Amino acid sequence: MLWHAYPLIGIDERNQYDFYRDVPGLTGLIAELHERGIRVFVDYNPWDTGTRRAAGDDPTELAALVTELGVDGVFLDTMKEGDTRLIDALRTATPPQVLEGESRVPNQRIVDHQLSWAQWFADSTAPGVMRAHWYERRHMLHSTRRWNRDHSDELQAAWMNGTGVLVWDAVFGVWVGWNERDRATLRRMLRAQRALSPILVTGEWSPLLGASEAAIAAGVYVSRYAADGVTLWTIVNRGDEAWTGEPLAQAAAEGVRRVEVTTGTEGVSRVTVPARGIAGILDIAPGAVAPAGLDELLAAARADTDSAPPSADFPAREAVRRIPSPAPVLAPPAGSVLVEPGERRVPVTFRRRETGFYQGAPYVEEWKPLPPRLHDDRTETLRVTIPSRVAMANGEVTVGQFRDFLDRTGYRPQVAERFPGRISRRGRSRHRRLPRRRPRVRGLGRGAPPGRVRVAARGVPARLPAADPGGVELDRERAQRRGHPVRHAQRRQRARQPRVGLVHRRRGAGAVVQPETAAGRARCRTVLQHRVPAGVGCGGQPMSASLAGIRVLDVSTLFAGPLAATFLGDFGADVVKVEHPARPDAARGHGPAKDGVNLWRKTLGRNKRTVTIDLSSPEGAELLRRLAADADVLIENFRPGTLERWGLGPEALHAVNPRLMIARVTAFGQTGPYSSRPGFGSLAEAMSGFAALTGEPDGPPTLPPFGLADGIAALSTAYAVMVALRAAARDGHGQVIDLAIIEPILMLLGGQITAYDQLGAVQPRTGNRSVNNAPRNVYRTADGDWVAVSTSSQSIAERVMELVGRPELIAEPWFASGHTRAEHADELDAAVAAWIAARPIADVVAGFERAQAAIAPVYDVRGILTDPQYQAIGTVQTVPDDELGPVRMQNVLFRLSETPGGIRWAGRPHGRDTDEVLAEVGVTREQVDALRAKGVV
């Protein structure tokens, strides 16, 4: 498979078809591969971002390309299946093309898609059966585990299913390598599959059939292929130790010739299957014709022996990022302008394509110089400080011209992107020689793995914000007709909008070169010396953040909606907080303040850019529609009908962005008799039954002194958004999320509804006690502190009674369950309270820990900040802030091992990022000033 390197597509005027035609020596390579009996595929990239649009449509251009190159098939990059126009066009090519999809091909498309990837094939204890191959035996699947270090699962799945394996030595510049054991397995498997392919393709296939009991007990599995008196038994050993024994339940009949095909041994009954390896037995009945080439297969197998078991250790290689040395500064290039020192706002648009490795790949030490990257589209406005006069190009430039600019000025942006502008003479010469000078590597064909890998992450040009929503719509319709995702159409249209700046040429316009920042948008270092720490991307977002690339518009107020947006922002989402220019979010006035700066807002507004727009004005509504056109999620909590009255209801927003998720978070939901009422979390705490349950038995219902219902609703909203985004990834459609704050808190109050429905029972107020177990309460220690004790499990309750000197209570019949213990809470509380009251808190906690019983001190905020457990897991983080200096606040809610979240900045002042965000949708400085004068922003 000839796969174009994504970072190279679009660095100049070439598109993917030009790229294939321009690679030196490519046709010679294809011809030599054909001479060796090897089929050749090219990759079709449906989201090609090249600048030159071909004269014909993609099916026409692709058919012409494959005919010109003489290849055999097309790999459908990121696609399950091709549309009918693409298939019809490729049937007219010479030769007619076969198709391979990257994902699970639907059953009904197997007739015209002859191959597919099995990269998401789930291995089980016994190797599974591949659906598409079971459905159509001639359909070839390729097991694909790009970054795995142990390939035994995919090799065994291929051997048992009679399918293939995609062998990767390098993925997007990362050399992944194969260990000696897996190379040996692959070599033996391919040799047998090629010699015995008629049996594998046309023979009767019985998966997981025929193994002896001893083999099954040892984790050795067998499949059977039979045709015309010849039977092939494919055998795999799932264990980590070699296994020797009789793998088949059926002994060879008299006169049957039985051979082991991976070692070439005749007359076998017992075989040795290597650890995590394969074996194969071929039975040839009397009078049956042996497969052609069997003797050659057995001779090659006998010659391929190992004196010792091959090593399963991963052959690590050091990855090195090469950084060019600075060159002396010469004269500014012609056509540039001189920019005076000072702070500047630099609008930046850029696009990156795949380099490094996927976020789900196993992250290992030697890959640390390579930040994981997928397709990444960002638009930023950087605040940069220019320390001295610098020359800046004012116009459109290609990447090659940008490299010339660097060479002539000596300017070296210290970022991970390296922009290739041309293929060097040395590279062209090497490509011309390549078909005749490829070194051999035993087991994996040609291309010996290098001892050192030269790595240069590359950036490519990007999209620009669309200035004409109508143009985007037309392009979207054209993309849908061609079967392309809508987002790609929007990106192509945006790329046509001009902007002044240092740009790469891209279909008549360009993208400003992106200098990434060290600590986020607000704290970009100087143009000439900004450095990017490992794992930090544009705007300070961690490059591995789970939600990087998701844009959220937060137009909600107070707590539930804004906190939901905060949760999303904590894990990399680009959250834009929209507030009224004259009436800020009321949350800015809640809680204490220092020097006029609200403190609650520092946590609630973290990781958000803040803009001001009067949504009730026609101009403001239009601005939000423009922002929504490029957003993934919008969160709002206006009373039902408000957004519709402003022309911003779901119908209007989905008209500009059909993929938008609209989360509507209100007290009572969008329908029903209360839906139009104003409401807050306190009402939900009352209506849900929470207040009725809380408080002392003889006291009034009690509301919590904080936003409990709002907080639970915020978590539920963030969860609902992720569920909706997962659905959109599958079907490409946005939807409306209707979340009533009165519902999530009700879900957490236990089975009250079911208990009342079935028993007529109403749970009473019990203070700090529980109706489900006892002892459960807070108790005062001898030194005046308080501790909380819980005995939700029976064993913990027994340990507590033994600790406090009342083991006789364990023998009581009522002690056997939590519910009946709760009926004797007075007696149990008295025993526990007496023991705790006689001791200081340190002795109490130590005693419970020795007894392995559950206890915790009752803290106020001072105890939280000094507790060693909170410190050990990093619950509280210090965040730098422009207004207050270092600020301590709670960290993100959970820790992910591979894609962690983080706090990039604390809450910002009202409307601080208005100019920056509106510039991203094509609003000029002059237009912003005019809107500000009218009170729209």
Active site residues: 710
Residues 6+ away with beta carbon under 8 Å from 58: 44, 46, 86, 482
Buried b (16+ CB within 10 A) or exposed e, 353-365: bbbbbebebeeee
Rounded CA separation 665/654 (Å):
18
DSSP string, 744-778: HHHHTT-SHHHHHHHH---PPP-TT--SS-SS-EE
The answer to whether residues 119 and 144 touch, using CB atoms and an 8 Å cutoff, is yes
Q: Is the dihedral of CA 913, 915, 916, 920 positive or negative?
A: positive
Give the CA count within 13 Å in the CB-facing half-sphere of 309.
13
Residue 225, SS3? Answer: strand
* DSSP per residue, 254-272: TT-EEEETTTTEES-SSEE
**Whole-angstrom Cα distance, residue 624 to residue 640?**
18
Cα distance between residue 31 and residue 851, in whole Å:
77
Angle of CA points 211, 212, 218, to nearest 5°: 90
Provide the CB-side half-sphere exposure for 514 (13 A, CA).
Answer: 31
Residue/partner pairs of 287-295 with CB below 8 Å, 24 or more apart: 287/229, 288/228, 288/229, 288/230, 289/228, 289/229, 289/230, 290/230, 290/257, 291/195, 291/196, 291/198, 291/199, 291/230, 293/195, 294/195, 294/259
Rounded CA separation 546/553 (Å):
18
* Backbone Cα Rg of the chain: 34
Note the maximum CA span of the chain.
99
Per DSSP bridges, beta strands 887-890 and 73-76 are unpaired
Is residue 809 within 8 A of residue 774, CB to CB? The reply is no
Residue 542 DSSP class: B
- Among 663, 706, 453, residue whose Cα is nearest residue 562: 663
If you ran DSSP here, which 8-state letter would residue 80 be given?
Answer: S
The first and second tokens of residue 292, run together, are 């052609």
Q: Are 415 and 530 in contact (CB under 8 A)?
A: yes
C-alpha to C-alpha distances, 891 to 229, 706, 870, nearest whole angstrom = 68, 19, 10
Beta strand spans in 602-708 (E): 608-612, 633-636, 661-666
**Dihedral through CA 203, CA 209, CA 211, CA 212, nearest 10?**
-130
- Whether the CB-CB separation of 511 and 464 falls below 8 Å is answered with yes
- Measured between alpha carbons, how far is 32 from 873 in angstroms, rounded to an integer? 59
Return all residues near 724 (Cβ < 8 A) that are at least 6 apart. 661, 663, 734, 735, 737
Burial group, residue 642, by CB count within 10 angstroms (0-12, 13-18, 19+): middle
The residues facing 101 across adjacent strands are 76, 116
Burial degree of 715 (CB within 10 A; 0-12, 13-18, 19+) = middle
Interstrand relation of 597-598 and 608-612 (parallel, antiparallel or unpaired): unpaired
| Cα 441 to Cα 1, 194, 446, 449, distances in angstroms | 18, 19, 6, 9
